[in-house]
């Protein structure tokens, strides 16, 4: 039962985010016409996020607006055929790590 509730809350968050993005992408005059719906979607997302916080607090980071925006960006890239970057080689990892350490010094 808990897994079903987590799945439902996740679906509400994902659908709300897609619809919110779609409204924000509208021309200003059309977006203004959808202000009431936008407010309801944002409230629904907030409630689903709060529910997720109780159901699955260890994974809550995944459901943040920022993380979900990144997930949608990756989905768009995949749909558009943008090649996925492969994992770093060991040498690339060490070079990136050294660069980060040099920046923080």
- Whether 48 shows a pLDDT value over 80: the answer reads yes
51-96 pLDDT per residue, tens: 999 999 999 999 999 999 999 998 998 899 887 777 788 898 899 8
Per the prediction, the chain carries an average pLDDT of 93
Instruction: Provide the number of structural domains found in the chain.
Output: 1
Question: In whole angstroms, how far apart are CA 12 and each of 2, 9, 32, 52, 55?
Answer: 15, 5, 23, 10, 14
Question: In whole angstroms, how far apart are CA 10 and each of 20, 81, 86, 99?
Answer: 15, 26, 28, 37
Amino acid 85: pLDDT: 74
Determine the structural domain holding residue 89 and report its residue range. 2-104
- Whether 105 shows a pLDDT value over 90: the answer reads no
């Amino acid at each position: 039962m808990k897994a079903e509730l987590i799945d439902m809350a996740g679906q509400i968050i994902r659908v709300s985010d897609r619809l919110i993005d779609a409204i924000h992408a509208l021309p200003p005059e059309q977006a203004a016409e959808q202000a009431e719906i936008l407010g309801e979607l944002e409230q629904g997302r907030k409630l689903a996020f709060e529910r997720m916080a109780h159901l699955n607090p260890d994974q809550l980071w995944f459901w943040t607006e920022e993380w979900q925006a990144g997930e949608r960006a990756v989905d768009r890239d995949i749909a558009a055929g943008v090649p996925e970057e492969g994992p770093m080689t060991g040498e690339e990892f060490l070079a990136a790590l050294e660069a980060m350490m040099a920046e923080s010094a």
